[in-house]
Amino acid sequence: SQTIHQWPATLVQPVGSPLSLECTVEGTSNPNLYWYRQAAGRGLQLLFYSVGIGQISSEVPQNLSASRPQDRQFILSSKKLLLSDSGFYLCAWSLAGVSEQFFGPGTRLTVL
Amino acid sequence: RKEVEQDPGPFNVPEGATVAFNCTYSNSASQSFFWYRQDCRKEPKLLMSVYSSGNEDGRFTAQLNRASQYISLLIRDSKLSDSATYLCVVNGAGGGNKLTFGTGTQLKVEL
């Protein structure tokens, strides 16, 4: 069966510091991968999605970037965090051509 | 207009009650529809897909009205463990199987 991992689970970072969040999927090949952010009391916002290694689509202009160095690895990064980057970051995967997405446990980021 | 709109609630219901949530979506080209459940401070989990003919999974029934661009979720015989936020989710016409999430309806089931 497929599993999705995210780490760290929680993170507190100062403004201006870099960020790297990692997501890995097991038990499937060539998944579509997604990064979402959920701000407090708000809905999920799609940040990036990827249909293959090195292929990244950005949904909204922002302070973040994403990379997919391996088939089942998806990384979310920032060079300098802003206060507004605080939120619950969720990675998800789906099979290519299938709509259902499955989420990892998330990383709760607080920027101070 | 939001792409997916839901009443945020909260819906406070007694155990054993029947409760219904509604959702409207704006993209008439949407092809796939889902309900996800999200517990406090946890990730969303797929509850059920919504098919044109309607579908049932135990105490849960989902229905789709394409003409009105409306989706519903009915929960019968509510349990305390049903307390959560229910997210209406719609697949748009864009590539990569992108999903658009509603902000959710909060359900609290009480003794």
Residue of A38, A58, A100 to mutate, testing the B interface (most B Cβ within 10 Å of its Cβ): A100
pLDDT value at position B96? 53
Least confident of A51-60, A65-74, B15-24, B55-64: A51-60
For B83-96, the pLDDT digits (tens) are: 999 999 998 755 55
CA A52 from chain center: how many Å?
15
pLDDT tens sequence for chain A (112 residues): 899 999 999 999 999 999 999 999 999 999 999 999 998 778 899 999 999 999 999 988 788 999 999 999 999 999 999 999 999 999 999 998 888 999 999 999 999 9
* Whether B34 and A57 lie within 8 Å, measured CB to CB: no
Q: To the nearest 5 percent, what fractions of chain B are helix, strand and coil?
A: 5, 55, 45
CA distance B69 to A1: 34
User: Using CB atoms, which residue from B31, B44, B102 is nearest to A103?
Assistant: B44
